[in-house]
Amino acid sequence: MALAHAHASGMGGMRTSGDLVARMQMSRGMKIKEAKEYVANKLSLSVTEIADPVIMTEVRQDLKLGVISPQAGDALGIEAKCRIAEVLDIDINCVNRFKNKAGI
């Protein structure tokens, strides 16, 4: 059922930019249109392009935002979230905590 919704109406998470758009809803309370436009603007892409899995895989790999199938050298987990916080210009709770604990 979750898969049916994901394919029928979902953005696709890390396959595209669904996780980034969700972060804007969660951190700034943005409605979907505003959240998509914010992410598209930060990535210098169109709203259509941020929902495209091929374009977004390349963009995510270039910007080290985390990808579905990481290759050696790609950003993983908290590494990628540090980049996401920078690119979207938002605070991410676990990133701030990680930096504090790591002394970064």
Partner 1 sequence: MEKIFTRFGDGTPTEMSESELRADLEAGTEDAADRGKIPPLTEDELNHLFDIFSSPYKFISVEPGQEIVLTYDGAHVKIRRHGLNVERIQGLQIYEKVMGADTLELCHVDYSFKPIKPIVTFEQPVMEQALLTTHAPMFYGAMPNLGLYSQPDGPFPNPAELMPAGKIEEAQASHELAVKEAVRDIVFVGSCMIECGADGINIDSTGAAGDADFLAALLATQQLKEKYPHTCVEIGMAGEFILGMHAGLEFEGTRLAGLYPHDQVKLVEKAGGTIYGPVVNTNTTESTPWNVARVVTFTKAVGEVAKIPIHPNMGMGVGAVPTCDHPPIDTVSRASKAMVEICRLDGL
Residues lying near partner 1 in the complex (CB under 8 A) are found at 1-15, 18-19, 21-23, 25-27, 29-32, 35, 47-48, 51, 65-66, 68, 76-78, 80-81, 84, 91-94, 97-98
Question: Which tokens in the block code for residue 36?
Answer: 């998509």
Question: Which tokens in the block code for residue 97?
Answer: 């905590």
Residue 60 Cβ, how far from partner 1 at the closest point, in Å? Answer: 9
Rounded to whole angstroms, how far apart are CA atoms 104 and 66? 20
Residue 52 Cβ, how far from partner 1 at the closest point, in Å? Answer: 9
Indicate the residue among 43 and 92 with the shorter CB distance to partner 1: 92
- On whether the CB atoms of residues 15 and 9 are closer than 8 A, the answer is no
Task: Give the C-alpha distances (Å, rounded to integers) separating 14 from 11, 66, 102.
Answer: 9, 7, 26
- AA letter at 93: N
Indicate the residue among 59 and 80 with the shorter CB distance to partner 1: 80
Residue 64 Cβ, how far from partner 1 at the closest point, in Å? Answer: 11
